Amino acid sequence: MKTRELLSLFLFITISVSGLSQNDFNPTNMKWMKDWTNFSPNNTNYPSYEEQLPNIINKDTYLKSDIIYFMSGDVYVINNATLTIEEGTLIKADTEKSTNLIVSKGAKLIANGTKASPIVFTSNKSRNSRKSGDWGGITIIGSGKANTIEGEGVVKGKFNPLYTIFGGNKMDEETTILKYVRIEYAGKSTNGLSLYALGNKSVVENIMVSYSADDSYEWHGGASTSRNLISYKSNDDDFDFTQGYRGELINILAIKHPYITSNNGSYAIEVDGYNKNLGFDNSKILSSIDITGATLISLADESNYNHTRAAISINNLGELYLNNSNISGFSDVVKLDKTFSTLRMIETAFKLDNSFFNVHKEGVVTQNNIQDDTFNLLKYNRFTKKFQQPQEIFSDPLDKVNPDFSLKNSLNNYMVVQ
C-alpha cells in the first residue's frame, strides 16, 4: 500500500486513544434481507409460463399469482391504466426479443409482494442457463421534476417515444408501489430497474436486482424515498442517480465481483448532478442523495484486489451524504471528477459519517489533484490499517445461498480517522 502506513502515522489514531465507544458507530442491521431474497437464482427451477401479456396494456389489469406470465417484446402500460400484480406472481421474459416492461407517465404499476411471497421477474431460460442481459428490465415513468433544460426528457433506449416522455411538476405523485420484488438477469440495453421522475409518494422498498448487464437501479430526477434495496453482481453501477434526483435511501446492499464490470468500469454508487449530454438549467437543483445504512462490498481478495476501483463516483456537481455504512474491498472510498475544482466544493459534495471502510489505496481520488486535507472527508470514520479479504471483514460473505454481510468483529477493533 503506497501511502496507507504513512497516513496511519500522521492522520489516524486507534480507537483506544480516541475514547469513542461501540455505541458511537452502529453497524448496519442486515435482518431486513432475510426470507425474501435469492442469491442463487440460476439454481431455481421456475415453472413454464401459461399466459402471455399483451404488448399494450391500456386499461386496468390484474395479474394473479396462480398464473405464470410471459413477456415477449416491449410491454407498455399506457392511457393512465394501472397494472396490479398479486403477491407471489412470477413473470418470465423472452430472451430472443428486446423485452421490457415500460410504465408510461400517468399509468401506474402496483407490485405489492410480501416477504413470504415476493413477486419475481426473471429470464425464460431454464435452470443453470440464465445469464446477465437475458432481457431488458422495468422502466417506470413519472411526472415529478427533472433538472433538464425543458423540465422533461425522453427515456433512453430504443422505445416508442409516444410512451416514454418523463418529468413535470407533480412532485407529490404516487407514481408506483413496489414491495418485495426480485428482478433477475435483466440489463439488455437498459437497467434492471429504471425510475424516471418519481413523485415523493411513491413506494419502492424490498427490491432485489440480480445479475443485471447494465445498472441495477437508475434514478432520473424525482424526489422519492426508497429502502431495503439489493444489487447483486451487476455488470455496471449498482445505484446510479442523475438529472436532479433528490431523495433518501435507507438500507442498501451492493455486492460486486472484481472481474464483473462494464467497459467503462462500474461503481457501487454513481452520482451525476446533471446529465452532461443534455445540460441543465442553472436555476434548477442538482442531484443530492442521503443514504443511511449502505453496505458496499467488492468480493476482492489478495489475488485480484488490484482490479477494483473506488466504491463511489461523484460527477457533474452531484452531492452525496452517506452515514452508518460499511464499504469494503474497493481501491478507494470515493472518486470526484474535474467539476470539483476546490477543496470546499469537494467538502460540500461528499460527506461520510459514522461509517467503516476497508480499501487498499488512499481513500479519496480527485481528477484535479486536490490532495491537501482531502482525507478530512473521511474524518471520524473507522477503517482497517491493512486491506483485508471479505471473509475477514464479514460474517459469511461467500456463502452462495445465504450470505451474511454483517461485520464479523466489533467496530472497536478498527482505527478511526481523526
Confidence of residue 371 (pLDDT cuts 50, 70, 90): low
308-334 per-residue burial string, b: 16 or more CB within 10 A, e: under 16 = bbbbbbbbbbbbbebbbbbbbbbbbbb
Query: Across-strand partners of 109?
Result: 83, 176
Length of the chain: 418
Task: Give the single-character DSSP code of 6.
Answer: H
**What confidence tier does 372 reach under pLDDT thresholds 50, 70, 90?**
low
- pLDDT tens figures, 294-344: 999 999 988 888 888 999 999 999 999 999 999 999 999 999 999 999 888
Rounded alpha-carbon distances, angstroms, from residue 218 to 136, 180, 209? 14, 18, 11
Chain segment 245-257, per-residue pLDDT in tens: 999 999 999 999 8
Containing structural domain, residue 246: 4-417
Q: Is 32 a residue whose pLDDT tops 90? A: yes
What does the pLDDT read at residue 3?
40
User: For residue 150, what pLDDT is reported?
Assistant: 85
- The CATH number of whichever domain residue 228 belongs to comes to 2.160.20
Mean pLDDT, to the nearest integer, of 258-269?
Answer: 81
- Structure confidence by residue, pLDDT tens digits, 47-63: 999 999 999 999 999 99
Confidence tier at 370 by pLDDT (50, 70, 90) = confident
Contacts of 120 (CB under 8 A, 6+ apart): 46, 89, 90, 91, 181, 182, 184
Q: How many domains does the chain have?
A: 1
d(CA 6, CA 316): 32
CA distances from 215 to 132, 229, 238 (A): 11, 13, 5
CA distance 169 to 179: 25
Sheet hosting strand 364-366, strand order edge to edge: 56-57, 75-77, 100-103, 137-141, 193-196, 217-220, 239-242, 269-272, 312-315, 334-336, 364-366
